[in-house]
Structure 1
Amino acid sequence: MSSLTARLALLAYLLLATLLHPCLCHATAAAAARGAGNWRVDSKSVDQGVAYVLILLALFVTYIVH
């Protein structure tokens, strides 16, 4: 049982780290861009972020169902 708990804790940590890392990096880059006064949303980055979230969701659902 503790092995399963450890695996789930590690999976949760990796999932959070994967999801939060781009946010933290983007916040640093956005702070620098705000100083320049030309802040825009890059649609390609948004699409890629949505794709990553959907892939992670599909993996999670597959893991739960299996």
Structure 2
Amino acid sequence: MEMLRLYILVAIFALFSALLIPSINAQVPEPAPAPSSDGVAIDQGIAYVLMLVALALTYIIH
């Protein structure tokens, strides 16, 4: 009978420790870093290159 009581006590302790210990050391993940480029700069760079190509072609043709 004493062993059964000891097993129940150990089971209750294991249950509480399994539920409480992970919440004590739980770490909140850091937010993701902001994107370094949202694509607007790349699109604008491509547009400038295409305008320069068009200007060069217009100059060569005339």
Q: Structure 2-normalised TM-score?
A: 0.41
State which structure, 1 or 2, has the greater radius of gyration over its C-alpha atoms. 2
Q: Higher relative CO (CA 8 A, sep ≥ 6), structure 1 or 2?
A: 1
Higher helix share: 1
